[in-house]
Amino acid sequence: LKSMFLLLPYRDDNPTRKFALINWCLIAANLWVFFAYQFPLTEKQQLAYYSAFGFIPASFFAQFSPFEPTFAAWEWATALTSMFSHGGI
């Protein structure tokens, strides 16, 4: 348990000049997505959710392959939506 706190920066010795609004908004957005969309899902629904909104490197980088020139805007969107998807607590 003690080693876990080394990964979670909960304080800093540097004084802050202003309130970290963007940081707290990102934390709130992550919590909202988890509790509103992911928490109530069944295991099968979670798999479908992660397949649709998660970042899958193979499908993302396949569009850069010189042999298969395909471009899907949805693959770019998953890079953003996956930031708010978590595999659990």
Contact 33, 85 (CB under 8 A): yes
Total structural domains within the chain: 1
Q: Look at residue 74 and tell me if it is in a domain.
A: yes
Domain that holds residue 66: 40-89
Query: What's the rounded Cα separation, in Å, for the pair 77 and 60?
Result: 10
Give the tens place of pLDDT for each residue, 2-45: 555 566 666 778 887 888 898 889 888 888 887 887 778 888 98
pLDDT digits (tens, 9 = 90+) for 9-20: 667 788 878 888
Residue 28, domain member (yes or no): no
pTM over 0.95: no
